[in-house]
Structure 1
């Protein structure tokens, strides 16, 4: 019992406005995903009229009527989505991969993770490519035609996974997240109670972080390009840019799979509804918003627009990947001769914080690169509607909030050393701001 108290202290501070915020997130975010897709149809994306309808109590009651809710569910789509998840799990087990160590946990342990996400992604892309060669693009239209049903099933699965990991977190010898042991059921369920829920060597959080959402995103994008081709007889350059940029981002994520082991999602946050819904539904079905928009409302780009979009993608990716690779390499081996150009400061706890190169320009410089890329993904949609720009607006809010969370946790961890570090690296996300 003493060791349990040491490793699993009671959470005394809430994030996200506590239980009230947790309740709002679990009700409004799934609703928002539906509204963004149901509000944009082939006949148009009437943002203003949709908002006016939802502000009308009668329209709101009608929108959430039993008939409307039942229409969101689709048996064929549910079977397809569950089959997709089973495929990903089998791929994790059957495809060979290297086992890598994560960072040291509070209890002194280091967990091992199987790294085969890139091979799994290649297999998935090969299956899609072979399907198109043999059957043509028509099979991919299933995803567009059953999009809402697939999304509904993903929401149900995200809740079921969150319920499962919450229940098993009460087993003995579980290492809980420092922020998820408040004792409030709603809050702990949302934020995540257990740090690393596992079934044997199968790490649920690690799997969900890099498999269903990332792979689903790229599959849906390809399906939206197939829909556009089916309607027009060709794929527009704007669609090609969107699926190329976002596809590269997805493939890059799984290619650099071990890098996620040093992120806050893995090292600090518990696995609960927030990460389950965020990766299974939000990532897979909201992030392809631009591709779905272009499938419904194609946009033709000028050469000047193409140059601007390509430049933003190159700049954003250069910052994002350069900074992340540098941080990951330094955390894995700060004494690597290849990193001798880096300057760092050592804290009282023995941790080393980079104060030069990318990380000398701003404390969260990688967030800037991520946001610049977001613009490159939205601009191909043109300016007729605000719908496809939801991502870049939401992402700005997300990154600022994540920066505030990072700052607060680092200040608690490093204490006065963090103030010293902030005096050296003065800017948060944007150098000079």
Structure 2
């Protein structure tokens, strides 16, 4: 039997377990391995030069894709000859300086959204969720205020009032895409460097490599907070997916004002982005159980991606459809049925697999009552699931969707991303960037995860892999 005591002062809860096999607290051997994994051992992403390439190359790519979508009919443009390289670059630069300048309007809108979301996160009542024990905090667990669903509803109601009263028209969002994107990038860079400096200055850095730019990229802090707000979880949900959803709504409003109707394609994007935003809100209590909260630091990799990368590179299909005649991407009724069915099926698997895994982790902590928010889907919670008890002290789930694949949530998530490109058919290849980029990220992340698990669990991981044979797609890979 385990003796468990708790202390919730300061948002922390300390768990003590005498036998180390309760699925929460690791054994002594497991703690030694956690200490090794919680220190910098090798460079990722190509090391310092690799992260410099990412930090400079990705913003350039975002600008290039946006220019191609808006000014070149969605075609990938290149210099026509060697002599055209300089004029081509000048044209690109002029588009950025004029059509994507960080103007006062963009600063007002983007900053206003952030301030509003921070305010709501602070004052709106929420469900308090305990996270997983954090090795770098001496296996203390942080308490997370989960009020995203309420904040999202208030945000949607506020936007509806602002739009109908004419104070802030939704069409302005898509019309100012370039300006907003530049401001988002500035915030991404600024917050990344600021957090690194403030974390090092206060002596709260962990898992550092000693290389300045690499540590800015990976991050120096693990759990930055302002009052009751966990900044890492706040930024993961409240900014990127709110913008993605309202970008789709803006595109729909633009279509309606231009043509008098909204196409099934744009309606599809409104549904798809709402499903994702709502899932993050209604299942927010599951986020503290994820690797992102438990292990990943808050650096440029996460900060820039949530401020700018997600909201301004995942939504290219909306940018295209909002500026092109609907006849270019009109489908037959059976095609629409297939497209919507694929989205909803993938969403169901993604939602329930995430819920199964997170609630299984909660069960190991003795948490058996869960927040009920809309929609609660069937098979989201497993009763008496099968698992492997590891020598490390953790448990590996081998039930539900997780008996068929080691990453069923990744498979479903990627299929949804593919539909975001398919919704505009073959009009432009740029909207497929999301799914192409995403599969590269998922494969890389799986490699990182599986390598750590093999090191962390040893023979127990081999036993797990013999039961759950497929990394991604059951029966294939």
Q: TM-score, normalised by structure 1?
A: 0.91
Q: How does 1:15-414 map to 2 (within 5 A)?
A: 15-41=44-70, 44-47=73-76, 49-50=77-78, 57-59=85-87, 61-63=89-91, 65=93, 68-69=96-97, 72-73=100-101, 74-106=103-135, 107-135=138-166, 139-171=169-201, 174=204, 176=206, 178=207, 181-297=208-324, 298=326, 299-334=329-364, 339-414=382-457
Aligned to 2:13: none
How far apart, CA to CA, are the structure 1 residues paired with 2:351 and 2:419? 16
Q: After superposition, give the CA deviation of every residue in 1:37-87 in whole Å (9 maximum; x if it has no partner).
A: 11112661122x347689953145414647844653212211221111111
Deviation at 1:357, TM superposition (A): 2.4
Conserved in 2, the CA contact under 8 Å of 1:39 and 1:50? Answer: no
Summarize the Cα distance change of 1:68–1:132 in structure 2 as closer, same or farther, 3 Å threshold: closer
Spell out, residue by residue over 1:232-283, the C-alpha distance to the aligned partner (whole angstroms, 9 max, x if none): 1211111101111121111111110111112221111110011011111111
How far did residue 143 of structure 1 move?
Answer: 1.3
> Which whole-Å CA distance do the structure 1 matches of 2:336 and 2:169 have between them?
31
Listed as ranges, the gaps of 5+ residues in structure 2 are: 1-34, 370-380
Shift of 1:428: 0.2
Give me the whole-angstrom Cα distance separating, in 1, the residues matched to 2:315 and 2:99: 22
Q: How many residues align?
A: 423
Q: Deviations over 1:23-44 (max 9, x none)?
A: 0111011111111111112661
Aligned equivalents of 1:174, 1:339: Cα separation in 2: 38
Residues 66 and 37 of structure 1, relative CA distance in 2, 3 Å threshold: closer
Alpha-carbon distance between aligned partners in 2 of 1:134 and 1:75, rounded to the nearest angstrom: 22
Contact 2:100/2:180 (<8 A) preserved:
no
Q: How many Å separate the matches in 2 of 1:369 and 1:214?
A: 18
CA deviation after TM superposition for structure 1 residue 98, in Å = 2.2
Q: In 2, distance between residues paired with 1:54 and 1:87?
A: 49
Asked if 1 retains the 8 angstrom alpha-carbon contact of 2:382 and 2:400, the reply is: no
Q: Is the 8 A contact 1:224 1:291 kept in 2?
A: yes
Q: Secondary structure at the match of 1:382?
A: coil
Q: TM-score, normalised by structure 2?
A: 0.83
**Aligned match of 1:423 in 462, 466, 470?**
466
- Measured on the aligned residues, the alpha-carbon RMSD in Å equals 2.4
Find the residue that maps to 2:144 and give its secondary structure: strand
Q: What is the CA distance between 1:373 and its match in structure 2?
A: 1.4
For residues 209 and 68 of structure 1, do their structure 2 counterparts lie closer, same or farther at Cα, with a shift above 3 Å needed? closer
Say which is worse superposed, 93-102 or 153-162, in terms of deviation.
Answer: 93-102
User: Partner of 1:38: helix, strand, or coil?
Assistant: helix
In proportion to residue count, which structure has more helix? 1
Aligned mates of 1:82, 1:54 — CA distance in 2 = 42
Whole-Å Cα distance in 1 between the matches of residues 462 and 79 of structure 2?
A: 45
Tell me, yes or no, if the aligned pair for 2:453 and 2:461 is still in contact at 8 Å.
yes
